[in-house]
Amino acid sequence: MAHMSEFLEDADGGFSATRLGFLAWIFGVLAAWVAASVSHRTLQPIPESVAAILGVLMTGKVVQRFGERPSATPPASAPQNVVVSGQTVVEGQTG
């Protein structure tokens, strides 16, 4: 099972405040819903405004995820072996 600190890391290994905020909202809403449901002894509806805020947070995370992706850069080319008069020479090396 992954540690909580690993879950809060973004693709580059840095801390993700967006993920922390999203988790705080989810746990806060869940705690308030459970408390209200227990006190009324029946399942309580979650207000549409709260669901809308959760939707906005999820959308923001998805948009941020695409924004974090590094631009597609071609990988550095590997040295090429070249045969010169019977000897193999690796490009970029002398000797």
Model-wide pTM > 0.75: no
Task: Give yes or no for residue 15 having a pLDDT over 60.
Answer: yes
Is the separation of the CB atoms in 19 and 58 below 8 Å? no
Closest by CA to 20, choosing from 31, 34, 2, 7, is: 7
Residue 4 pairs in a beta bridge with none
Residue 14 has pLDDT above 90, yes or no: no
Helix (H) or strand (E) holding 61: helix 48-68
